[in-house]
Amino acid sequence: LPRGLIKFDTAACQVARTENNPTTYRLVRPRTVLYASLFVLVGCLMAYQLFTRPTFGVNLLRDRNPLFVKLSDGDIRNGYTLKILNMVRRPREFTVSIQGVPDGILSRQEIGGSIVDEGMAMTVTAPSDQIAAYRIFIHAPHGGLTSDAVDLTFQVRNQEDGESISHQTIFRGPTK
């Protein structure tokens, strides 16, 4: 095949060559600058999201049935399922505490079914790159509740760096 049979050229350059005018090749055009800048912008946004993502998350599910349990000593107990999402490649310990329920006591149900009282705060461990699920109970004295629905705040704090996440929910009791 003869050389130059197939050429990648613009119509303007072909017309300029037939008229013996000088041709110019522009490697940097407005469209290529726009595409390159959009590509760099999207890459920077993705890198920012990657490096600033949270290292753990919290999901809290309140028991819907029964809303509360009245214990034999008159205390009121609510149940919750706490899920801690550990998004790093090492196991970490977290401190779980509550605010909003006067004289509230946290307890945790162990695998065998026994319930362990922890007090106002407890320490839980989340395995690396996994979700740790815990069955949590809160006991409150019946006389200490001001209404049938008390605002409750769960705070989960990472013991390594002090980063914490708060989760709002409700503590239910009998109607007054």
* Residue 2, domain member (yes or no): no
Residues 46 and 114 occupy one common structural domain: no
pLDDT in tens, 61-93: 999 889 999 999 989 999 999 999 999 999 999
pLDDT higher at 11 or 34: 34
Residues 16 and 92 occupy one common structural domain: no
pLDDT in tens, 30-48: 999 999 999 999 999 999 9
pLDDT of res. 131: 94
* Residue 3, domain member (yes or no): no
Domain that holds residue 106: 56-172
pLDDT of 51 above 70? yes
pLDDT of 110 above 70? yes
Q: How far apart are CA 80 and CA 158, in angstroms?
A: 20
Q: How far apart are CA 59 and CA 28, in angstroms?
A: 51
Residues 60 and 135 occupy one common structural domain: yes
* Residue 25, domain member (yes or no): yes
* Residue 4, domain member (yes or no): no
pLDDT of res. 50: 93
Q: How far apart are CA 145 and CA 148, in angstroms?
A: 7
Q: Are 158 and 96 in contact (CB under 8 A)?
A: no
pLDDT of 137 above 70? yes
Residues 90 and 121 occupy one common structural domain: yes
pLDDT of res. 85: 96
> What residue has token string 């790093």?
88
